A = this chain, B = another copy of it.
Amino acid sequence: MAEAGIEYVRLAEFSWGVIEPTLGGLDFSWLDEAVDILADHGLNVVLCTPTATPPKWLVDEHPEILQADPDGTPRHFGSRRHYCFNSPRYREETRRIVSEMAAHYADHPAVVGWQTDNEFGCHGTVRCYCEDCSAAFSEWLAAKYDDVGDLNEQWGTTFWSQQYASFEAVDPPRPTPADHHPSRLLDYYRFATDSVIEYNRIHADLIREHGDWFVTHNFMGDFETLDMHKVSNDLDLVSWDSYPTGFVQDRRAADPSMDELRAGDPDQVGLNHDLCRATNDAPFWVMEQQPGDVNWPPSCPQPGDGAMRLWAHHAVGHGADAVLYFRWRRCLEGQEQYHAGLMKQDGSPDRGYNEAKAAAEELTTVDVDHVDASVALLHDYDNWWAIGVQPHAPEFDYWEHLRCYYRVLRARGVQVDVVHPDAPLDDYEAVVAPGLHLVDTELADHLTQFVEQGGQLLVGARSGVKTPANQLHETLAPGPLADLTGLVVDQHESYPEDVPLAVEVDGDEYAATIWAEWLDPDPQTTVVATHTSGPGAGRPAVTRRNRGDGSVTYCGVWPGSELLDELVAELLSRGGIKHTSRLPDGVRFNERDGLTWVTNFTSRQFELDVPMGAVVSGGQTLGAFDVAVVSTAPHLISISNEAS
């Protein structure tokens, strides 16, 4: 490992069964040996609490710790993540094992930090429907609402006679003949994420009691059910697990191209990097970087030559301070035998080994601070959940919608922070808010202040429609944002993705899809685009108005990339944000502390036009799945449009 340039080694996730083979029979000897060997070679260790896999003896003794499906079927032993976050018994067992482990390694100099559990919520396990969760949900509601009358009013339970006489009467949302109440679902989703937060805090608090360590958790990519903004409040360091060629297959609407099967989608990966970085406004880690082919996507082609090196650089360019690979060596047994490691099962180096080593050598020459971004993309799990409960169009996915905006911004070579709407916006020149669905007056004031003080704001469709309780505002959309945006939405409509929609801007036609709103702008508001399709033809589709020292643009459609690029380019120009011409698909720039990473996620070759001597790493010719690090700003770099 040391020879490969590795500095940090993560250990012991899922290890409860060997740490405690029988109740109370603790055995750290094997782990001690491993940690000592690593320490002897100058490697730092990140330990994991082993709670993601309660052993069978514990399940047999206390079957009530198992999660339950909505219909009551237990989530049985035999894989992982089968425990309920709200089980009092499991919380007690968690405290016991975490305390024992933290105490045991309290003085070990090689142990620098801890990962809590592993991939909270993986396999759909944030939301559980067991009796412990039922009781905990009632308590959570009691803590949130003044009384049950307040709950009934906030949710609006008169509809379909859904009134509750007590908090205890509110169950988890189990199978029903028709749709669940959207306010009840939204609160259940909030409760479920809060259950994980509480459970994570048990770990974090106990670990900190025993040492001056950093505490992190390895989040998953494109993951909806767990509020990363909130969980991260209890973490010193945000990290996540990045599997580019899997993600393009199993968590994105569009079918992957051949290049994407080889290297992934830089914007899909980048959006997660930028969320991790911006959440705690600090460098993040990739705790698991894909080391080669893996076991779980539908298909498992070999990554392109260079892809593993590319991903490491790409992460650093986005603000990562460490990239760890999962796993070191292919495992002979169990569910992940088809998961590559840096080493093959016979101990010989696999494809990823040499690439990881090369990346490590190149990156040791680089010393960079935190990434600065001028653009904020607002992101909020409540909006994700609220739109997910009532998408009103099969293809309207909140995260896909955000990625459309992100992709166009990134194609202009700018850095993007993905931040919660409530976050301070003073450091940004431009703010982009797609699908800002749940808005109250406080948030509207926050955004108004940003604009009045000179900020450029781009608001997307479906914004301001609902209260935070998931009721419609009594006023027309965008509700509390109507004054700021200078319009109301007369009508909204949704379409299958294959129905082409169109708008017109200055005589040119642009494509849109899935969603259309007919806008009624104020006299002070300028019409930027007009519908040219459907019964709304001739009605405004995109508007803009100046307000104080800034401006606000409202985009009442799911915009095609051409239309969105027009809006984004104007936004960046108004904000004085330096940007590039549109980059080729799959090529992205990441600026960090004076250096720019030029990453090529395609099999094509490009020539860079940069100042003499500016190339710090790589070369002027950017090969397939190649990277160059350049000591100049993105807007000063030109790239040939597919040389050779």
A residues with a Cβ closer than 8 A to B are: 14-18, 21-22, 50, 53-57, 60, 67, 69, 71-82, 122-125, 155-165, 169, 171, 173-184, 258, 261-262, 293, 295, 298-305, 330-338, 344-346, 348, 351, 390, 392-394, 466, 471-476, 491-496, 499, 534-536
Question: How far is it, in angstroms, between the C-alpha of A17 and the C-alpha of B394 when the chains are bound?
Answer: 32
Query: Is B535 in contact with A17, judged by CB distance below 8 angstroms?
Result: no
Given contact pairs A299-B494, A390-B338, A476-B344, A176 touches B78 in the complex (Cβ within 8 A): yes
**Complex A-B: 7 CB contacts under 8 Å:** A80-B177, A82-B176, A157-B333, A262-B535, A332-B471, A332-B473, A338-B392
Query: Is A491 in contact with B346, judged by CB distance below 8 angstroms?
Result: no
Query: Is B332 in contact with A472, judged by CB distance below 8 angstroms?
Result: yes
10 nearest A-B residue pairs (beta carbon): A156-B333, A159-B334, A17-B161, A79-B178, A123-B177, A53-B161, A79-B176, A76-B174, A302-B493, A332-B472
Question: How far is it, in angstroms, between the C-alpha of A162 and the C-alpha of B336 when the chains are bound?
Answer: 13
Question: How far is it, in angstroms, between the C-alpha of A15 and the C-alpha of B74 when the chains are bound?
Answer: 36
Minimal Cβ-Cβ distance residue in B for A159:
B334
Query: Is B262 in contact with A180, judged by CB distance below 8 angstroms?
Result: no
Given contact pairs A16-B161, A72-B73, A393-B300, A67 touches B177 in the complex (Cβ within 8 A): yes
CB distance from A236 to the nearest CB of B (A): 27
Say which residue of B180, B300, B333, B466 sits within 8 Å of A79 (CB atoms): B180
| Residues of chain B lying within 8 A (CB to CB) of residue A499 | 258, 261, 299, 301
Query: Is B496 in contact with A300, judged by CB distance below 8 angstroms?
Result: no
| Residues of chain B lying within 8 A (CB to CB) of residue A472 | 330-333, 337, 345
CB distance from A173 to the nearest CB of B (A): 6
| Residues of chain B lying within 8 A (CB to CB) of residue A345 | 472-476
CB distance from A514 to the nearest CB of B (A): 9
Question: How far is it, in angstroms, between the C-alpha of A638 and the C-alpha of B17 when the chains are bound?
Answer: 67
| Residues of chain B lying within 8 A (CB to CB) of residue A14 | 159-161
Given contact pairs A75-B177, A78-B180, A476-B346, A302 touches B535 in the complex (Cβ within 8 A): yes
Minimal Cβ-Cβ distance residue in B for A292:
B491
| Residues of chain B lying within 8 A (CB to CB) of residue A181 | 78-79, 334-335
Say which residue of B165, B305, B338 sits within 8 Å of A22 (CB atoms): B165
Query: Is A334 in contact with B175, judged by CB distance below 8 angstroms?
Result: no
| Residues of chain B lying within 8 A (CB to CB) of residue A331 | 159, 472
| Residues of chain B lying within 8 A (CB to CB) of residue A335 | 159-160, 178-182
Query: Is B56 in contact with A160, judged by CB distance below 8 angstroms?
Result: no
Question: How far is it, in angstroms, between the C-alpha of A492 and the C-alpha of B474 when the chains are bound?
Answer: 59
Query: Is B535 in contact with A176, judged by CB distance below 8 angstroms?
Result: no
Query: Is A182 in contact with B334, judged by CB distance below 8 angstroms?
Result: yes
| Residues of chain B lying within 8 A (CB to CB) of residue A21 | 163, 165
| Residues of chain B lying within 8 A (CB to CB) of residue A330 | 472
| Residues of chain B lying within 8 A (CB to CB) of residue A122 | 177-178
Say which residue of B71, B171, B295, B305 sits within 8 Å of A77 (CB atoms): B171
Query: Is B160 in contact with A299, judged by CB distance below 8 angstroms?
Result: no
Question: How far is it, in angstroms, between the C-alpha of A539 and the C-alpha of B136 when the chains are bound?
Answer: 58
Question: How far is it, in angstroms, between the C-alpha of A345 and the C-alpha of B473 when the chains are bound?
Answer: 8
The CB with the most chain B CB atoms within 10 A, among A67, A124, A299, A333, is that of A333
Question: How far is it, in angstroms, between the C-alpha of A205 and the C-alpha of B595 when the chains are bound?
Answer: 81
CB distance from A314 to the nearest CB of B (A): 19
| Residues of chain B lying within 8 A (CB to CB) of residue A261 | 495, 499
Given contact pairs A78-B174, A171-B77, A335-B181, A301 touches B534 in the complex (Cβ within 8 A): yes
Question: How far is it, in angstroms, between the C-alpha of A499 and the C-alpha of B298 when the chains are bound?
Answer: 13
Query: Is A79 in contact with B476, judged by CB distance below 8 angstroms?
Result: no
Given contact pairs A53-B161, A160-B79, A173-B78, A471 touches B337 in the complex (Cβ within 8 A): yes
CB distance from A36 to the nearest CB of B (A): 20
CB distance from A184 to the nearest CB of B (A): 7
CB distance from A350 to the nearest CB of B (A): 8
Minimal Cβ-Cβ distance residue in B for A73:
B71
Say which residue of B78, B332, B466 sits within 8 Å of A156 (CB atoms): B332
CB distance from A494 to the nearest CB of B (A): 5
CB distance from A400 to the nearest CB of B (A): 16
Given contact pairs A124-B177, A472-B337, A474-B332, A304 touches B78 in the complex (Cβ within 8 A): no
